[in-house]
Amino acid sequence: MIYPMIGFLIILSFPYLIYQSKKPSGFIGLWMMKIWNRVYMPMVVWSVSQLGYKKQFDSILDVGVGNGASSKYLKMHFPDSQVLGIDISTTAIKSAEELSEPGLSFEVKNVEKTNLPVEEFDLITAFQTHFHWSDLTQAFLELKRILKPDGIILLACEWSKLAYYLPDFRKQEKLEHYLSNLDLHLIDSQRNGQWILYKIKKKYGGIL
């Protein structure tokens, strides 16, 4: 009798856990962010390595940072860069601020309307988060607005999450068409086991 009851409770809690993955709050949110660090930081390390060790970025924006571990890694990897980590969750940012240091800061912001300056960032990263954005198109338009003309958007996530939340984009040509309509261009995509990453740049009049 106890096992069906446990299964039932898990089913009931699933929507709450999904909400926590989008906007962590309270003790459960803090606990889940620690789990995410263990599970997803190897993906962050791999994704950043695909940018090349000699590449330098003056200003980096990390979107959906949770407790800031990915932003901290970006600062370690690019020590001369100014790194800003943002998240919609006040709980997440309060936790992330414990990692703050010169050149690494955190703010509560919505990716769909950041109020950040135009063409501010050389690199914008989003790890295991873009499939949660409530208005994907508006989010991409906002990232395009704050991305420098020669900047890069780096997205990375688990393939299973992409397939579940954004099933149309399992076919790369559909993603390319979608981005093209937003004057963005997919310049590279790579798979590593269950991880996938995309590199995206601005497109001007069909010419990169």
CA dist 44 to 11, 48, 125, 135, Å?
30, 6, 10, 24
pTM: 0.83
CA dist 147 to 153, 171, 187, 207, Å?
8, 26, 15, 17
Which residue, chain included where needed, has tokens 């501010």? 120
Do residues 112 and 139 make contact, with C-beta atoms less than 8 angstroms apart?
Answer: yes
For the chain, the straight-line distance linking the first and the last C-alpha, in angstroms and rounded, comes to 62
Task: Give the three-class secondary structure for 101.
Answer: strand
Q: Where are the domains of the chain?
A: 2-202
Bridge partner residues of 189 (DSSP): 198
Sites in the chain below the pLDDT cut of 50: 3, 5-23, 25, 27, 29, 31, 205-208
Rg of the chain, C-alpha, whole Å = 17
pLDDT in tens, 56-108: 899 999 999 988 999 999 999 999 999 999 999 999 999 999 999 999 999 99
pLDDT in tens, 88-98: 999 999 999 99
Do residues 114 and 86 make contact, with C-beta atoms less than 8 angstroms apart?
Answer: yes
Which uninterrupted H or E stretch holds 158? strand 147-158
Superfamily of domain 2-202: Vaccinia Virus protein VP39 (3.40.50.150)
Residue 100 burial (10 A CB sphere; 0-12, 13-18, 19+): middle
Buried b (16+ CB within 10 A) or exposed e, 142-161: bbbebbbeebbbbbbbbeeb
Sequence-distant contacts of 50-53: CB under 8 A, at least 24 apart: 50/154, 50/188, 50/190, 50/197, 50/199, 51/123, 51/152, 51/154
